[in-house]
Structure 1
Amino acid sequence: MLQNIYDYLLLLSLFSIWIVVLMNKILVISGFVSYLKNYKRSDELIPDKDLPFISVLIPAHNEAKVIAKTLKSVLEMDYDKDKYEIIVINDNSNDNSAEILGKIKEDNPERLLQIINTDSIIGGKGKSNALNIGFTQSKGSFIVIYDADNTPEKQALKELVNAIIKDKKAGAVIGKFRCRNKNRNLLTKFINIEGVYFQWMAQAGRWQLLKLCTIPGTNFIIRRSILDKLGGWDTDAITEDTEISFRIYQLGYHIRFCPHSATWEQEPETLSVWFKQRKRWVKGNYYVLIKNFKYLFDRNTGPIRFDLLYFAAVYVLFLSSSIISDMIFILGFGGFIETTIMGYSLLLWFMAYILFVLSVLIALSAEKGEINGANTAITLIMYFTYCKLWSIVAVIGLVSFINDSIFKRQITWYKTERF
Structure 2
Amino acid sequence: MSIEMPVVSALLVLFSVGGFALLHAFLIYPLTLFSIKKVTSGTQCTPTTDLPSVGLVIAAYNEEDIISQKIENSLKLEYPADQLNIIVFSDASNDATDEIVRSYEDQNVTLERIEGRVGKTECQNRVAELIDEEILVFSDANSMYESDAVTELIRSFTPRVGCVVGELRYRDGSNVEGESVYWQYESWIKRMESGVNSLITGNGSIYAVRAESYYPQPADAISDFTEPLSILRNGETVKYAPTAVAWEDTEANVQDELSRRIRIITRSWNSIVRYSDLLNPFLHPGIAYQLWSHKILRWLSPVFLVIIAVSNIALVALTDSILYTILLIGQAAFYSLAIAGYLSEKDYLKHRTITHVPFYFLQANYAMLYGLVNFLQGSNIVVWDTSDRE
Look up the match of 2:193. 206
- Residues 387 and 44 of structure 1: is their aligned pair in 2 closer, same or farther, counting only changes over 3 Å? closer
Look up the match of 1:374. none
Look up the match of 1:343. 323
Equivalent residue runs for 1:85-104 within 5 Å: 85-104=85-104
Look up the match of 2:308. 325
Look up the match of 2:31. 26
CA distance, structure 1, for counterparts of residue 174 and residue 381 of structure 2: 35
Look up the match of 1:394. 368
1:273 matches 2:261: no
Question: Which of the residues 383, 392, 411 maps onto 2:382?
Answer: 411
Equivalent residue runs for 1:120-139 within 5 Å: 120=116, 124-139=117-132
Q: 1:348 deviation in Å?
A: 9.7
Look up the match of 1:171. 162
Contact 1:14-1:348 at 8 Å conserved across structures: no
- Residues 65 and 327 of structure 1: is their aligned pair in 2 closer, same or farther, counting only changes over 3 Å? farther
Question: Which of the residues 137, 143, 149 maps onto 2:142?
Answer: 149
CA distance, structure 1, for counterparts of residue 212 and residue 21 of structure 2: 41
Question: Which of the residues 306, 309, 312 maps onto 2:296?
Answer: 312
Q: 1:184 deviation in Å?
A: 3.5
Structure 2 unmatched ranges of 5 or more: 40-44, 335-351
Contact 2:137-2:207 at 8 Å conserved across structures: yes
Contact 2:170-2:248 at 8 Å conserved across structures: yes
Q: 1:288 deviation in Å?
A: 2.8
Q: Classify the secondary structure of the residue corresponding to 2:181.
A: helix
Look up the match of 1:221. 208
Question: Which of the residues 221, 227, 233 maps onto 1:244?
Answer: 227
The root-mean-square deviation of aligned C-alpha atoms, in Å, is 3.1
Question: Which of the residues 158, 174, 197 maps onto 1:184?
Answer: 174
Q: Classify the secondary structure of the residue corresponding to 2:103.
A: helix
Identical counterparts, % of pairs: 20
Amino acid paired to 2:114:
T
CA distance, structure 2, for counterparts of residue 349 and residue 340 of structure 1: 14
Q: 1:102 deviation in Å?
A: 2.2
Look up the match of 1:78. 78
Q: 1:169 deviation in Å?
A: 0.3
- Residues 302 and 74 of structure 1: is their aligned pair in 2 closer, same or farther, counting only changes over 3 Å? farther
Q: Classify the secondary structure of the residue corresponding to 2:173.
A: coil
Amino acid paired to 1:51:
L
| Higher relative contact order, chain-length normalized (CA < 8 Å, sep 6+) | 1
Question: Which of the residues 247, 254, 259 maps onto 1:264?
Answer: 247
Amino acid paired to 2:21:
S
TM-score normalised by length of structure 2: 0.83
Look up the match of 1:235. 219
- Residues 13 and 349 of structure 1: is their aligned pair in 2 closer, same or farther, counting only changes over 3 Å? farther
Amino acid paired to 1:66:
I
Q: Classify the secondary structure of the residue corresponding to 2:141.
A: coil
Contact 2:277-2:283 at 8 Å conserved across structures: no
Look up the match of 1:282. 265
Structure 1 unmatched ranges of 5 or more: 35-41, 355-376
Q: 1:234 deviation in Å?
A: 2.5
Count residues in correspondence.
362
- Residues 242 and 404 of structure 1: is their aligned pair in 2 closer, same or farther, counting only changes over 3 Å? same
CA distance, structure 1, for counterparts of residue 47 and residue 231 of structure 2: 27
- Residues 168 and 15 of structure 1: is their aligned pair in 2 closer, same or farther, counting only changes over 3 Å? same
CA distance, structure 1, for counterparts of residue 37 and residue 170 of structure 2: 20
1:254 matches 2:237: yes
CA distance, structure 2, for counterparts of residue 43 and residue 226 of structure 1: 20
Q: 1:382 deviation in Å?
A: 5.3
CA distance, structure 1, for counterparts of residue 290 and residue 205 of structure 2: 19
Q: 1:13 deviation in Å?
A: 2.0
Amino acid paired to 1:270:
N
Q: Classify the secondary structure of the residue corresponding to 1:135.
A: helix
CA distance, structure 1, for counterparts of residue 368 and residue 151 of structure 2: 37
Q: 1:22 deviation in Å?
A: 2.9
Range with greater deviation from structure 2 (207-216 or 275-284): 207-216
Q: 1:59 deviation in Å?
A: 1.3
- Residues 267 and 141 of structure 1: is their aligned pair in 2 closer, same or farther, counting only changes over 3 Å? same
- Residues 415 and 323 of structure 1: is their aligned pair in 2 closer, same or farther, counting only changes over 3 Å? farther
Contact 1:62-1:95 at 8 Å conserved across structures: yes
1:112 matches 2:92: no
Q: Which runs of 4+ in 1 moved over 6 A?
A: 31-34, 42-45
Amino acid paired to 1:343:
L
Q: What does the per-residue CA deviation read over 1:346-379, in whole Å, with 9 as the maximum and x for residues that have no partner?
A: 459969x99xxxxxxxxxxxxxxxxxxxxxx72x
- Residues 382 and 410 of structure 1: is their aligned pair in 2 closer, same or farther, counting only changes over 3 Å? closer
Q: Classify the secondary structure of the residue corresponding to 2:156.
A: helix
Q: 1:342 deviation in Å?
A: 5.8
